């Protein structure tokens, strides 16, 4: 039996959808009990082999009630992921299963539909019992009618922001073309994506479908906008390929076999995104300390008509929305002792039962949760105050690799109400310790009224030290406190091993957001916004791999906007710049990479 499995592993790296059913050929064979302790030799790295299926693949007239399918393997197996035992069309209740010797027996609590073709997929569901070698997968096809449907579609699902493949997304086909179908009913056919985000929905009818992909958190095969990611094809889909078990798109591969898995055709590419909620109401609230709090709204774009705190003059309230306008920070500009409860009174456009925004008065109590009162001057409370409780807390930062681009960042814990930026000084010291004063520009961050960007003028030189200093008693915050002195020293990196990437961008017709990301595509290292042809430089890069993401900001709001299913709007288009066939840019030591990028041409495709 071991020799047989080695033969299978060598000559059948991708098992056909009909599998290698060899039960009839080896009825008299017997294998060693795989549950016994090993007796030595090389470690078993060969996956389980499907030995027999009953009823046979392609069975017709399968009873709608009480149907059971038995899968027998050449060794003992176990179910690693029950959710990967996936029936299409899906039912309200997931398939049931049990192990019986070397067989997996699957049955269904709900009756099957008459006259329907079904597929039962085992991809990612099983491993062998001892070594955990994964079973490559198998799709069993049967019908409760007299025929088997014969068409198929394939494609891939990716994240809209990173363009990385999404494993375990549910791709759904609906004969019902109405917008509400994916919210209210289960699909006509469905399948889960593999590690490469690939899917193939096989043995379906030749008709028109709506195609969706959902990251189905509740595993109910219905789209829930509160918890699920969604993606869709913006036109009707009609299958054009006839099922053939030798098609690469229908074979089951070792996911490490990059050449084969990447060779599968993906005519449909679906980008998953999270929809913005549309129903507006105050969702959450929190009192951070005695003078600050926030409230969050369920949907972006909140419209506040009036806001105030009972018992305080309206001009004592400082508020700021985030960019999406779904979170509001609140500060009280009053150095006196604050009560334990602030009674916030808000009039805002709240969604009523008919889905219409209506001006609504709402009272929001903001309770203090044990935070020390910074402005209490009694002897007992003063003993509990830290130094930070009695000053205007300010943080000044700069990073050697990015300060030429980002400048110095000055951020306050609480909004400053008095200050003199002319008292802030910038100077440079050359290698001979000669000092020179410099000038800088000051810009308040449009998204954060407590954050300022101080950008020195002129060019920076290697070997120089640069100092930004905020003297004591320069700024006073809402608590009536003044800042301590703070100074930051920074210098241009001198490591000769560092590298750079220069992009000469042309064909810029829209507004674009250009991000340098790390290899994982999860962390943004540097970002630019541009709306005209320009040369960008990403300096001082350590050896490694990087990605360059380009987002088309069509509504010019500086955000990467998500899509809308009911409006039929895709998320804003994202592209990753490729060198050769790879999205990853390999940067070695002492490299100066320069690339000409025609953005207009990139986004035409």
CATH number at residue 431: 2.60.40.1220
Mean pLDDT of 412-418: 94
Number of C-alpha atoms within 13 angstroms, CB side, residue 467?
14
The fraction of the chain above a pLDDT of 90, given in percent, is 76
pLDDT of residue 42: 66
CA 459 to chain centre: 38
Rounded CA-CA distance 206/200 in Å is 15
Per-residue model confidence (pLDDT) at position 16: 39
Residue 107, domain CATH:
2.60.40.3710
Whether 398 is in a domain gets the answer yes
**For residue 200, what are the β-bridge partners?**
154
| pLDDT (0 to 100) of residue 29 | 35
Residue 134 sits in the same domain as residue 160: no
> Of 63 and 29, which is predicted with more confidence?
63
Is residue 382 situated within a structural domain?
no
Measure the CA–CA gap between 582 and 599, rounded to whole angstroms: 17
Q: What is the mean pLDDT of residues 220-241?
A: 95
We report the CATH number of the domain holding residue 352 as 2.60.40
**pLDDT at residue number 383:** 52
Instruction: Taking residues 80-104, report their average pLDDT.
Output: 95
Q: What's the domain range around 328? A: 282-367
Percent of the chain residues topping a pLDDT of 70: 90
Which of 274, 294, 325 is a domain's end point? 274
Answer whether residue 430 shows pLDDT above 80: yes
**Residue 202: inside a domain, yes or no?**
yes
pLDDT in the model for residue 112: 97
57 & 86 share domain: yes
Q: State the Cα angle at 81 between 80 and 84, rounded to 5°.
A: 135
Inside any domain, residue 353: yes
In sequence order, what DSSP letters do the residues of 444-477 get, joined into one string? E-TT-TTEEEEEE-S---TT-EEEEEE-TTSEEE
pLDDT bracket for residue 380 (50, 70, 90)? very low
Strand-pairing partners, residue 56, are none
Q: Same domain, yes or no, for 3 and 138? A: yes
Indicate the pLDDT class of residue 605, thresholds 50, 70 and 90.
Answer: low
Mean of the pLDDT values across residues 515-532? 93
DSSP codes of every residue in 45-78? -PPP-EEEEESPTTB-S--SSS-EEEEEESS-EE
- Residue 379 pLDDT grade (very low, low, confident, very high; cuts 50, 70, 90): very low
> Does 115 score more than 70 pLDDT?
yes
Q: What is the mean pLDDT of residues 560-580?
A: 90
pLDDT the model gives residue 190: 97
Lowest mean pLDDT among 60-64, 134-138, 155-159: 134-138
- Output Rg (C-alpha) for the chain, integer angstroms: 31
Is the pLDDT at 518 greater than 80? The verdict is yes
- Residue 601 forms beta bridges with which residues? none
Give residue 44's pLDDT band: very low, low, confident or very high (50, 70, 90): confident
What is the per-residue pLDDT for 446?
87
What one-character DSSP code corresponds to residue 40? S
- Where does a domain end: 239, 274, 309? 274
Same-domain status, 124 and 212: no
Count the neighbouring beta carbons within 10 Å of the beta carbon of residue 177: 10
pLDDT at residue 226, as a whole number: 86
Cis preceding-peptide flag for 104 (omega within 30 of 0): no
472 and 428 in a common domain: yes
Answer yes or no: do 576 and 519 share one domain: yes
The structure's pTM equals 0.80
| Peptide bond between residue 89 and the one before it cis (omega within 30 degrees of 0) | yes
In a domain, 436, yes or no: yes
Shared-domain flag, residues 296 and 266: no
Of the listed ranges 24-38, 139-153, 249-263, the least confidently predicted one is 24-38
Q: 141 and 203, same structural domain? A: no
Count CA within 13 A, CB hemisphere, residue 326. 12
Determine the pLDDT at residue 370: 57
Residue 46 lies in a domain: yes
466's CB contacts (< 8 A; 6+ apart) are 403, 426, 427, 428, 429, 438, 456, 460, 489, 490, 491
pLDDT band at 253 (very low <50, low <70, confident <90, very high): confident
Predicted pLDDT at 183: 94
Geometric angle at alpha carbon 194, from 192 and 200, rounded to 5° = 60
Single residue among 215, 248, 274 that ends a domain in this structure: 274
- Grade residue 378 by pLDDT with cuts at 50, 70 and 90: very low
Q: Which of 174, 81, 79 is nearest to 128 (CA)?
A: 79
Local confidence band at 41 (pLDDT 50, 70, 90 cut-offs) = low
Q: How many separate domains does the chain show?
A: 5
Please report which confidence band the pLDDT of residue 246 belongs to, taking 50, 70 and 90 as the band edges: very high
**Mean pLDDT in residue range 349-363:** 95
Is residue 374 in a domain?
no
Mean pLDDT of the chain: 89
The answer to whether residues 140 and 16 belong to one domain is yes
DSSP string, 525-570: EEEEEESS-EEEEEEEEPSEEEEEEEEE-TT-SSS----BTTTTBP
Q: Quick: pLDDT tens for 51-77.
A: 999 999 999 999 999 999 999 999 999
CA distances, 50 to each of 36, 252, 343, 429 (Å): 21, 12, 67, 74
Torsion of CA 296, 298, 300, 303, to 10 degrees: -70
Residues 318, 418, single domain; the answer is no
| CA-based nearest residue to 585, from 499, 496, 506, 494 | 499
Nearest to 42 by CA among 75, 4, 2, 8: 2
Residue 551's CATH number? 2.60.40.10
Do 484 and 510 fall within a single domain? no
Would you place residue 338 in the very low, low, confident or very high pLDDT band (cuts 50, 70, 90)?
confident
Q: What is the pLDDT at residue 7?
A: 40
- For residue 384, tell me if it sits in a domain: no
Q: In this structure, are 110 and 38 located in the same domain?
A: yes
CA–CA dist 329, 286 (Å, integer):
10
């Amino acid at each position: 039996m071991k020799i047989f499995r080695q033969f299978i592993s060598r000559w059948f790296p991708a098992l056909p959808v009909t599998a290698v059913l060899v039960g009839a050929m080896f009825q008299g064979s017997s294998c060693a009990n795989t549950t016994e302790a090993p007796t030595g030799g090389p470690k078993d790295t060969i996956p389980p082999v499907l030995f027999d299926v009953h009823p046979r693949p392609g069975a017709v007239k399968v009873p709608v009630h009480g149907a059971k399918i038995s899968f027998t393997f050449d060794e003992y197996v176990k179910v690693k992921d029950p959710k990967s035992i996936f029936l299409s069309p899906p039912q309200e209740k997931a398939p049931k299963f049990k192990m019986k010797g070397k067989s997996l027996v699957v049955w269904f609590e709900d009756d099957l539909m008459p006259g329907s073709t079904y597929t039962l997929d085992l991809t990612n569901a099983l491993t062998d019992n001892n070594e955990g070698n994964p079973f490559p997968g198998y799709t069993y096809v049967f019908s409760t009618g007299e025929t088997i449907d014969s068409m198929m579609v394939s494609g891939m699902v990716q994240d809209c922001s990173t363009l990385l493949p999404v494993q375990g997304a549910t791709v759904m086909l609906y004969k019902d073309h109405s917008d509400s179908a994916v919210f209210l009913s289960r699909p006509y056919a469905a399948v889960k994506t593999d590690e490469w985000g690939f899917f193939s929905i096989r043995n379906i009818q030749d008709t028109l479908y709506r195609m969706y992909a959902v990251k189905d958190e509740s595993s109910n095969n219905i789209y829930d906008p509160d918890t699920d990611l969604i993606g869709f094809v913006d036109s009707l889909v009609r299958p054009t390929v006839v099922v053939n078990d030798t098609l690469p798109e229908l074979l089951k591969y070792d996911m490490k076999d990059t050449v084969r898995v990447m060779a599968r055709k993906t005519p449909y590419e679906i980008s998953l995104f999270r929809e913005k909620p549309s129903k507006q109401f105050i969702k959450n609230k929190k009192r951070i300390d005695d003078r600050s709090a926030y409230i969050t709204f369920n949907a972006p774009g909140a419209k506040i008509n009036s806001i105030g705190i009972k018992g305080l003059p309206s001009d004592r309230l400082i508020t700021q929305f985030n960019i999406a306008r779904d979170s509001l920070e609140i500060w009280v500009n009053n150095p006196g002792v604050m009560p334990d409860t602030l009674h916030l009174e808000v009039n805002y456009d709240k969604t009523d039962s008919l889905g219409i925004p209506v001006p609504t008065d709402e009272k929001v109590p903001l309770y203090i949760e044990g935070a020390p009162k910074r402005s209490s001057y009694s002897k007992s409370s003063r003993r509990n105050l830290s130094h930070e409780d009695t000053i205007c807390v300010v943080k000044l930062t700069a990073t050697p690799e990015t300060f030429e681009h980002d400048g110095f960042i000055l951020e306050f814990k609480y909004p400053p109400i008095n200050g003199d930026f002319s008292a802030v000084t910038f100077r440079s010291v050359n290698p001979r310790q000669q000092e020179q004063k410099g000038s800088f520009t000051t810009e308040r961050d449009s998204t954060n009224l407590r954050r300022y960007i101080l950008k020195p003028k002129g060019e920076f030189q290697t070997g120089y030290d640069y100092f930004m200093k905020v003297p004591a008693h320069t700024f006073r915050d809402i608590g009536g406190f003044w800042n301590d002195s703070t100074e930051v020293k920074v210098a241009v990196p001198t490591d000769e091993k560092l590298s750079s990437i220069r992009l000469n961008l042309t064909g810029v017709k829209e507004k674009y957001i250009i991000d340098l990301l790390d290899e994982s595509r999860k962390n943004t290292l540097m970002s630019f916004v541009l709306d005209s042809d320009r040369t960008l430089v990403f300096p001082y890069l350590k050896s490694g791999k990087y990605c360059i993401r380009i987002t088309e900001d069509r509504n010019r709001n500086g955000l990467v906007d998500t899509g809308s299913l009911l409006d039929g709007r895709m998320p804003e288009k994202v592209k990753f710049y490729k060198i050769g066939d790879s999205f990853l840019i390999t940067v070695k030591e002492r490299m100066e990479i320069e690339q000409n990028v025609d953005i207009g041409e990139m986004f035409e495709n």
